[in-house]
Amino acid sequence: MDTLQLWGLESFYTTIVVLFVFLWIISIIWVAKDISARTNSVLLQIIAIVLVTFFTPIVWIPLYHIIKPIWYKKDKMPWREACITNATVCGKCRMLNAKEHKCCINCGTKLMIKCKECNKEYPHNYRYCPKCGWPNIELN
Ligand SMILES: [Zn+2]
Ligand SMILES: [Zn+2]
């Protein structure tokens, strides 16, 4: 009877460990996919994957959500592309959108902001209003 109870407890722990390892692997794959979409820097990609592997998803996922906006702000590539192709980059998912789009075609985030001075709508990544030159307070 004792051995049976002990076995039951052991298999319970085994299930938890297996579930945890499964979640761990899933989050490593998720971070690898997410970071490769976010930056072209191989070093940053390696750092993100190594960190999620060592810190476990419980610690790393919340931390990752805090620091990832800093990473994609540093990566200027899509913004450069946007200038050449006359497009707008979504600040959230970095999808390239046509300049007249009001919302992102991939994630629905608002792409236009309204000038505080003259009420003209313009793409969120402009630093100044193209009509009156009022600074975009979200970027400046
Ligand atoms: Zn988007
Ligand atoms: Zn204006």
Does the residue 134 lie in any domain? no
Residue from 137, 63, 78 nearest 92 by CA: 78
Asked if residue 103 and residue 66 are part of one domain, the reply reads: no
Q: Give yes or no for a contact between 57 and 24, defined as CB atoms under 8 angstroms apart.
A: yes
Does the residue 133 lie in any domain? no
Asked if residue 33 and residue 85 are part of one domain, the reply reads: no
Asked if residue 87 and residue 33 are part of one domain, the reply reads: no
Asked if residue 6 and residue 62 are part of one domain, the reply reads: yes
pLDDT score of 132 more than 90: yes
Residue-wise burial string across 43-55, b where 16 or more C-beta atoms lie within 10 A, e elsewhere: ebbeebbeebeee
Structural domain boundaries enclosing 89: 77-123
Exposed, middle or buried by CB within 10 Å (0-12, 13-18, 19+), for 30?
A: middle
Could you tell me the distance, in angstroms and rounded to a whole number, from the CA of residue 91 to the centre of ligand 1? 7
Asked if residue 101 and residue 46 are part of one domain, the reply reads: no
51-79 residue pLDDT tens: 777 776 667 667 767 766 665 555 555 66
Domain count, the chain: 2
Stretch 83-112: mean pLDDT, rounded? 86
Could you tell me the distance, in angstroms and rounded to a whole number, from the CA of residue 128 to the centre of ligand 2? 8
Provide the Cα torsion 32, 37, 42, 44; round to 10°: -70
What confidence score (pLDDT) does residue 133 get? 93
Q: Which ligand sits nearest to residue 78's alpha carbon?
A: 1
Q: Which of 47, 74, 101 is the last residue of a domain?
A: 74
What confidence score (pLDDT) does residue 119 get? 93
Does the residue 44 lie in any domain? yes
Could you tell me the distance, in angstroms and rounded to a whole number, from the CA of residue 137 to the centre of ligand 2? 12
Provide the Cα torsion 94, 100, 102, 105; round to 10°: -50
Which of 38-42, 95-99, 127-131 tops mean pLDDT? 127-131
Asked if residue 119 and residue 63 are part of one domain, the reply reads: no
Could you tell me the distance, in angstroms and rounded to a whole number, from the CA of residue 32 to the centre of ligand 1? 19
Stretch 17-24: mean pLDDT, rounded? 86
Asked if residue 47 and residue 96 are part of one domain, the reply reads: no
Asked if residue 49 and residue 7 are part of one domain, the reply reads: yes
Neighbours of ion ligand 1 (CB under 5 A): 90, 92-93, 95, 104, 106-107, 109
Could you tell me the distance, in angstroms and rounded to a whole number, from the CA of residue 97 to the centre of ligand 1? 9
Q: Which of 43, 58, 74 is the last residue of a domain?
A: 74
